[in-house]
């Protein structure tokens, strides 16, 4: 049952990925705007704080807030990469490299060497991520650098979140995390240039319902996070993490379907060469993830 629920959770995550790409690229919401409103609307969780608040040490509070700050930066870099790339390439590339940085941070923290399992996983994850992100004639580009940076920041966020959650209740950690994420972005409103950029909206034909779609995506993303937290509480963490490959498979299927039937929603390369390349990359990333976590 946990496996089925986990796969369904990754399907919901895929929907939010596609909506992110649609809102940023088709509805012309700038990444800085998108990051700002994504993070700030997350503060709605604080209404539940009176029922979950717990007194914690200053060290754990600062760690939670720092993880939130890193989250905001990671999301901004990720959305910039998503704006200029295909969602079916960017998401597997970024999240496929996150385990690599998890291992790197683990080595920097307390591990002296890589295990055979980790080496085997890297031999699949790295080629898979590089293959997924590769486009003919594009190698060490700014876009590739942004995706690598996003993966590193996401991994750092998870490390900080994990450390902070060990010293306090998960919900309390989440509340301080959201405060830290917002504290990085709210000061931008005090400066004219970033304020104009955040409050500015490009005129786009048929832009109606954008606010509704964004709020729906936020609610779906929040529900997915709660759902995943529940699954991690009742099931084996390694198995749930290993199943993330289904997210890439769902994303690939939806991207191909919409690119052929609904280009006004999503427009990607769907020629035979691109499809074969993405399929092979997904297989490599999926296999590497399975080896690493199982």
Domain spans of the chain? 2-293
Q: Tell me 47's DSSP state.
A: G
Name the burial class of residue 190, with classes exposed (0-12), middle (13-18) and buried (19+) by CB atoms within 10 angstroms of its CB: exposed
* pLDDT tens column, 177-196: 888 888 888 887 777 777 77
8 Å CB contact between 99 and 125: yes
8 Å CB contact between 189 and 133: no
113, two tokens = 């060497």
CA angle, 79 then 83 then 84, to 5°: 125
- pLDDT for position 137: 60
* pLDDT tens column, 97-156: 888 888 888 778 776 566 788 788 888 888 888 788 777 666 667 888 899 999 999 999
* One-character DSSP codes across 126-152: HHHHHHHH-BTTBSS-HHHHHHHHHHH
Backbone angles phi, psi at 226, to 5 degrees: -65, -40
Nearest to 101 by CA among 179, 157, 185, 29: 157
99, two tokens = 């385990």
- pLDDT for position 111: 63
8 Å CB contact between 27 and 205: no
Q: Kindly give the residue spans of alpha helices, DSSP state H, lying in 235-267.
A: 237-242, 245-261
Low pLDDT (below 50) residues in the chain:
none
- pLDDT for position 176: 81
- pLDDT for position 102: 83
Spell out a b/e string for 110-143, using b for 16 or more CB atoms within 10 Å of the CB, else e.
eeeeeeeebeebbebbbebbbbbbeeeeeeeeeb
- pLDDT for position 113: 66
Q: Which residue has the tokens 């993880």?
A: 67
Instruction: Determine the Cα–Cα distance for residues 282 and 276; give it in Å rounded to an integer.
Output: 10
8 Å CB contact between 94 and 154: yes
8 Å CB contact between 260 and 71: no
């Amino acid at each position: 049952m946990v496996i089925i629920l986990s796969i369904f959770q990754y399907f919901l995550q895929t929907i939010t990925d596609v909506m992110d790409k649609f809102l940023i690229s088709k509805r012309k919401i700038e990444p800085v705007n998108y990051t700002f409103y994504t993070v700030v609307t997350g503060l709605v969780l604080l209404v539940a704080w009176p029922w979950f608040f717990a007194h914690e040490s200053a060290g754990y509070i600062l760690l939670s807030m720092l993880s939130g700050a890193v989250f905001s930066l990671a999301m901004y870099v990720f959305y910039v990469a998503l704006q200029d790339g295909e969602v079916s390439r960017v998401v597997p590339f970024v999240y496929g490299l996150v385990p690599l940085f998890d291992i790197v941070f683990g080595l920097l923290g307390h591990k002296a060497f890589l295990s055979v399992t980790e080496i085997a996983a890297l031999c699949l994850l790295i080629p898979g991520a590089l293959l997924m992100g590769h486009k003919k004639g594009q190698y060490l580009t700014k876009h590739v650098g942004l995706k690598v940076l996003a993966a590193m920041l996401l991994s750092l966020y998870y490390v900080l979140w994990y450390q902070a959650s060990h010293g306090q209740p998960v919900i309390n950690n989440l509340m301080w995390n959201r405060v830290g994420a917002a504290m990085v972005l709210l000061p931008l409103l005090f400066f004219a240039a970033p304020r104009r950029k955040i409050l500015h909206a490009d005129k786009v034909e048929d832009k109606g319902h954008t606010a509704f779609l964004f709020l729906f995506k936020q609610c779906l993303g929040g529900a997915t996070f709660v759902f995943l937290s529940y699954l991690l509480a009742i099931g084996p963490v390694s198995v749930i993490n290993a199943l993330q490959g289904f997210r890439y498979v769902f994303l690939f299927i939806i991207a191909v379907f919409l690119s052929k039937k609904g280009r006004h929603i999503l427009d990607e390369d769907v020629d035979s060469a691109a499809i074969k390349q993405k399929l092979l990359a997904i297989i490599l990333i999926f296999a590497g993830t399975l080896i690493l976590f199982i």
